[in-house]
A and B are shown apart, each in its own frame.
Chain A
Amino acid sequence: MRVSVVVVGGGPAGLAMSRRLVHVGVDHVVLERGEVVNSWRRERWDSLRLLTPNWMTQLPGHSYDGADPDGFMTAAEAVAFFDRYRRRFDPPLLTHVTVLSARRTATGFAVVTDAGHWECDAVVAATGASSQPRVPSVAADWPRHIEQATALEYRRPSQFDREGQVLVVGASASGVQIADELRRGGHDVTIAVGEHIRVPRAYRGRDIYWWMDAIGQLDERYDEVDDIDRARRHASVQVVGNDESRDLDLNALHRSGVRIAGRVMAVAGNRAQCSGGLASLVANADLKQARLLGRIDEFVSASGLDDEVGPATMPGPTRLDRVATELDLGHFSTVVWATGYRPTYHWLDPAAFGRQHKVVHDGGVARLPGLYLMGLPFMRRRRSNLIGGMQFDAADLAGHLRGYLDDVARSRTMRPSKVGSGRPGQQRLARAMDDVLDGTRAAD
């Protein structure tokens, strides 16, 4: 089967890209291994709600129009939103098709699926940033009596044994939410905290994401940031979608009885060794929070919003009691690794990868010609991995892709006898790409 573009992944990223490809007149197919927005149906815990308020949930031409714009939709409501999108726009979507490999050929890409082969000129990898969990290597040495689960496998407090203690490893959004819910569900919970980002749910009467949007932080570009690699590795913020504007930082966890430990560094038998450097990370997180809220205050003054918003009340510092540097795992029955996620690119041409087995790209345009990425953290903008952020990246990349396909078509017309070798065409394409990218090259 032949098509100009294969979009791999029928989640928000793939759907956003599809809409923009239609807009620029590019024929394509979207291949989804399960149901549309599969991960949102199958791989989220029961109580999960989006981190961002409903008004931010947007795909191209399709925004949240429900009765609760400042609320936070559940996974099921997000699925319903995407189902309505699909019915409305009828994207060229094939479900229950798993892509097994996508390899560059002399003329484009060969995509092998469990339902047939596709040939295409370009591939968009839109399988999401969170398809697989990251689990630290120390998990391999963990005592065998402890049940291990990742954040992707977590569903509800009742799934774990209530007899022993639960250790939640990781204190970004998933970690703090899971620890909080397990504690409310009656478990004895310890959370091991490494680097984390603390923000209040609301500040001066508005949601923190409203502010991050208003001050332009979510629009910050990948090529404007000092250390984009580090920015892309940032943990997600310690917030939870809720209707009471309650915070979910370490102070809140501590108040509800969750024990705090430092980052898990090593395990020996039943002894888990935790870092003694937590105070440093906590000081750092408090400083960064203060910096963000200070930026917001400056924006309020500069925009004359002082009369419209609440007073600038800074959250108190994070107060920790004596933090244990050692845990006796003999008392624990469960560990939940909330230690991050990564995309699933095992099907991608090995030539796409560079250092540390990451796909080499510049703002989503891969170094491998004809390959594009979508939905990764800070891929092009700080909002790149937010549902409402994907439409902007999709517009940029669809435009770039349109230009790339035009070049491919021109190179075929100009040198029909050389279509097989592809090399001069690739050089021309490489130069064309350099022009479009303005010579800006970010590290992978």
Chain B
Amino acid sequence: MTRTDTPTVDNGVNIEALRGARQALTDAPEAAQFQWQASCEWVKGTHSRSTITDFSGLGQQHTHRQPFAIEADHPQVFASEDNGATPPEIVLAALASCLTAGVATVATNRGVQLRSVKATIKGGMDLQGILGIDGDVRNGFDSITVTYDIDADVSRADLEAIIAQSQKRSAVFDIVTNPTTVNVALA
């Protein structure tokens, strides 16, 4: 596969624009510095609402087409009101979304037409961690599994390769599998 291939597939990915962006940013690394952000407002109990509107990158501020809201809460078995998915579930969704976007992008780059892609993601969690019952148990997931169901006219090996490449270039995969410095402070 060479750079001059024009893809005959349409997965809705503007692969030419992405290749162009990669080339442009190679020569202007300062433009590649992005900052994502969200603002989270407590509603009641364990219910909060995060709003995502602005981000910066390519040397300037940007605003999403519309503000996006994500509700989060705890379920009734936690004696809560279940007004939204739990934060760990939202993280699983984020990971699945990031990997899935990667699958579509890599498939397009490789000239593979996708008909359907579905990821089932599961994460085990021992609550003795967050409940402080057992100091040897971590708060987060003990492990996460993602299973992809993909309908496309290529071999299983080709699909495995697409999934592998998606992980390699996934932001959330890196966020979840590797340490990230987090600083929390009072304004």
| A273 near B164: Cβ-Cβ < 8 Å | no
Mark each residue of chain B from 162 to 183: 1 if its CB lies under 8 Å from any CB of chain A, else 0: 0011011000011011110000
Complex contacts, B26 vs chain A, CB 8 Å: 443
| B3 near A226: Cβ-Cβ < 8 Å | yes
| A283 near B178: Cβ-Cβ < 8 Å | no
| A275 near B178: Cβ-Cβ < 8 Å | yes
| A290 near B174: Cβ-Cβ < 8 Å | no
Please report which residues of chain A, range 278-305, place their CB below 8 angstroms from some CB of chain B when the two chains form the complex: 280, 283-284, 287, 290-291
B160 close to A (CB within 8 Å): yes
Complex contacts, A276 vs chain B, CB 8 Å: 176-178
Specify which of A273, A277, A291, A443 is in contact with B174 (CB 8 Å cutoff): A277
| B164 near A284: Cβ-Cβ < 8 Å | yes
- For the complex, give the distance between the alpha carbons of A291 and B26 in Å: 30
Complex contacts, B1 vs chain A, CB 8 Å: 226
Complex contacts, A280 vs chain B, CB 8 Å: 164, 167-168, 173, 177
Please report which residues of chain A, range 62-82, place their CB below 8 angstroms from some CB of chain B when the two chains form the complex: none
Nearest Cβ on chain B to A264's Cβ, whole angstroms: 10
A265 close to B (CB within 8 Å): yes
B154 close to A (CB within 8 Å): no
Complex contacts, B164 vs chain A, CB 8 Å: 280, 283-284, 287
- For the complex, give the distance between the alpha carbons of A291 and B176 in Å: 29
B161 close to A (CB within 8 Å): yes
Nearest Cβ on chain B to A367's Cβ, whole angstroms: 15
Complex contacts, A266 vs chain B, CB 8 Å: 179
| B3 near A290: Cβ-Cβ < 8 Å | no
Nearest Cβ on chain A to B164's Cβ, whole angstroms: 5
| A275 near B177: Cβ-Cβ < 8 Å | yes
Nearest Cβ on chain A to B145's Cβ, whole angstroms: 10
Mark each residue of chain A from 422 to 444: 1 if its CB lies under 8 Å from any CB of chain B, else 0: 00000000000000000000010
Complex contacts, A277 vs chain B, CB 8 Å: 167, 173-174, 177-178
- For the complex, give the distance between the alpha carbons of A291 and B165 in Å: 14
Nearest Cβ on chain B to A60's Cβ, whole angstroms: 33
Nearest Cβ on chain B to A411's Cβ, whole angstroms: 32
Please report which residues of chain B, range 120-173, place their CB below 8 angstroms from some CB of chain A when the two chains form the complex: 157, 160-161, 164-165, 167-168, 173
Given A226-B2, A277-B167, decide whether A287 and B161 contact each other with a Cβ distance below 8 A: yes
| B160 near A287: Cβ-Cβ < 8 Å | yes
- For the complex, give the distance between the alpha carbons of A287 and B179 in Å: 26
Residue of B nearest to A277 (CB): B177
Mark each residue of chain A from 262 to 275: 1 if its CB lies under 8 Å from any CB of chain B, else 0: 10011000000101
- For the complex, give the distance between the alpha carbons of A287 and B156 in Å: 11
| B173 near A265: Cβ-Cβ < 8 Å | no
Complex contacts, A262 vs chain B, CB 8 Å: 177
Nearest Cβ on chain A to B47's Cβ, whole angstroms: 30
- For the complex, give the distance between the alpha carbons of A443 and B177 in Å: 31
- For the complex, give the distance between the alpha carbons of A226 and B174 in Å: 24
Residue of B nearest to A227 (CB): B3
Complex contacts, A291 vs chain B, CB 8 Å: 157, 161
Complex contacts, A284 vs chain B, CB 8 Å: 164-165, 167-168
Residue of B nearest to A294 (CB): B157
Please report which residues of chain B, range 1-40, place their CB below 8 angstroms from some CB of chain A when the two chains form the complex: 1-3, 26
Complex contacts, B167 vs chain A, CB 8 Å: 277, 280, 284
Please report which residues of chain A, range 45-90, place their CB below 8 angstroms from some CB of chain B when the two chains form the complex: none
Complex contacts, B165 vs chain A, CB 8 Å: 284
Complex contacts, A273 vs chain B, CB 8 Å: 178-179
| B173 near A287: Cβ-Cβ < 8 Å | no
Nearest Cβ on chain B to A289's Cβ, whole angstroms: 12
Residue of A nearest to B173 (CB): A277
Which of B1, B161, B165, B179 has the most chain A CB atoms closer than 10 A to its own CB?
A: B179
- Can you report 14 A-B residue pairs in the complex whose CB atoms are below 8 A from each other? A262-B177, A273-B178, A276-B178, A277-B167, A277-B173, A277-B174, A280-B167, A280-B177, A283-B164, A284-B165, A284-B167, A287-B157, A291-B157, A443-B26
Not counting A226-B2, A273-B178, a sample of 13 additional A-B residue pairs whose C-beta atoms are within 8 angstroms of each other reads A226-B1, A226-B3, A273-B179, A275-B178, A276-B178, A277-B178, A280-B167, A280-B168, A280-B173, A283-B164, A284-B165, A287-B157, A287-B160
Please report A residues at the B interface, Cβ cutoff 8 Å: 226, 262, 265-266, 273, 275-277, 280, 283-284, 287, 290-291, 443
Q: What 9 A-B pairs have minimum CB-CB distances, sorted nearest first?
A: A277-B177, A276-B177, A280-B167, A284-B164, A273-B179, A266-B179, A265-B178, A275-B178, A265-B179
